[in-house]
Amino acid sequence: FKYPKSSAAKLNAGVILRYSTVYPFRLPENNIVCVFCHESFEEPSAFGKHMEQHQTFSIRHAFAHCPDSYLKADCSDIRCRICLKPSDSLETIANHLRKTHQKLLDLSAPLGIQPFNFKSDKLRCAMCETKAYSLRQLSRHTQTHFLRFTCETCGKAYASNNALQVHIRYSHRKLKGYYCGKCRTTFNTVDEKRIHLDESERCRRYVCNVCGDRFMSSFTKLLHMKEAHGVEKKPQVCPECGQAFADKKILINHFKTAHTDNNVVCDFCGQKFVSKKDLEEHRVTHTNDKPFPCPVCSKPFPRKKNLTQHMWIHSEYKKFECKLCDKKFNQRVSWKSHNKINHPELMNFE
């Protein structure tokens, strides 16, 4: 759904924000950000208390951050600012403002607001009660209720025109060779792209929050933050059961397996998995199938990721260099094996 200028949906949203305790926010990372003063909050309850202090604010600031999609808004405690009457939904408060206070609302048009309900300690969709493990994941799910922009090429739908354009750019634009998503440079081979990523600081995605240094992976960034700044990685806590995990991916897998009903089960051993892809990868441990042969040497592999890792053996690009004899290797495991056999004194410092 897109807001044309002075659209009914945008007018509806503006009236609701002005005359009720529906509080708009942004979610750039996993924190809630006030659209009026840009203060950030880790806990939704703290954001609600903060918004009660905003006695006056400019509604246009709310639309400045999302000009072409529904506004995200905290609808946990909806009350009319005129008569203080509580409401249990956006539709109820819209009807109340129109009929009781004669405010200009077009009830035949969308209300232009994406609702979030933070009454419970658990994260739940305000529309269908689906569970979520983080604010970002809850936001992504909630958007699925508002998918109005459809790709004419593949039929995928998105909540905003901007999201659709990003999809088209990355999925359907014809690119020659390999492509750097950061600087838009194209390369003829994967080796050229890897060299570019190794040498280009601008294209390293992971940035140290303390000193601004850039890294190729989340792991190397976290290692740097621990060794250089003494910053330990925060444990990832499940919002449902409180169990803590060292890595977000492990938390996501735990959440989907333990707290949702849409799991797939292995016919051989009964183990649960969060997706058919994970199940298929697991099934090869029972069947011993190896459906992925190497196109160079024909060696078969049970999983595609095993084949991808193996293909480095045939690559001419050797990024791992021995510090003592200048011998180069295209795999880290080969480099470590070389050091262990030929330079064991180095292993104490790796």
DSSP for 134-189 reads SHHHHHHHHHGGG--EE-TTT--EESSHHHHHHHHHHHTS--SSEE-TTT--EESS
Q: Tell me which of 122 and 261 has the higher pLDDT.
A: 122
Residue 225: pLDDT band (50, 70, 90) is confident
Least confident among 41-45, 128-132, 190-194, 337-341: 190-194
Average pLDDT over residues 36-65: 81
Q: What is the pLDDT of residue 350?
A: 45
pLDDT at 346: 57
Measure the CA–CA gap between 157 and 155, rounded to whole angstroms. Answer: 6
Q: Which amino acid is residue 265, in one-letter code?
A: V
The pLDDT score that the predictor gives to residue 317 is 63
Residue 2 confidence (pLDDT): 41
Band of pLDDT at residue 61, cut at 50, 70 and 90: confident
Sorted by sequence, the CB contacts under 8 Å of residue 323 that are 6+ apart come out as 346
Residue 101 above 90 pLDDT?
Answer: yes
Predicted model pTM: 0.51
Alpha carbon distance 157, 137 (integer Å):
17
**What SS3 string covers 36-47?**
CCCCEECCHHHH
In terms of pLDDT, which residue wins out, 200 or 14?
14
pLDDT of residue 349: 40
Mean pLDDT of 93-118: 92
* Mean of pLDDT values over 74-85: 94
CA angle 194, 199, 200 (to 5 degrees): 100
198 pLDDT band, cuts 50/70/90, is confident
Mean pLDDT of the chain: 80
Mean pLDDT of 40-67: 79
DSSP state of 330: S
Name the nearest CA neighbour of 159 among 26, 66, 60: 66
Determine the Cα–Cα distance for residues 44 and 138; give it in Å rounded to an integer.
13
Residue showing tokens 């905290």: 74
Residue 92 has a pLDDT of 95
What's the start-to-end Cα distance of the chain, in Å? Answer: 53
Query: If pLDDT is split at 50, 70 and 90, which confidence band does 1 have?
Result: very low
Helices and strands per DSSP (H, E), number in the chain: 12, 21
**Residue 34 identity:** C
- Exposure pattern of 68-103 as b/e (b: 16+ CB <10 Å)? bbbbbbbbbbbebeeeeeebeebeebbebbbeeeeb
Calculate the dihedral angle through the C-alpha atoms of 268, 269, 272, 275, rounding to the nearest 10 degrees.
-30
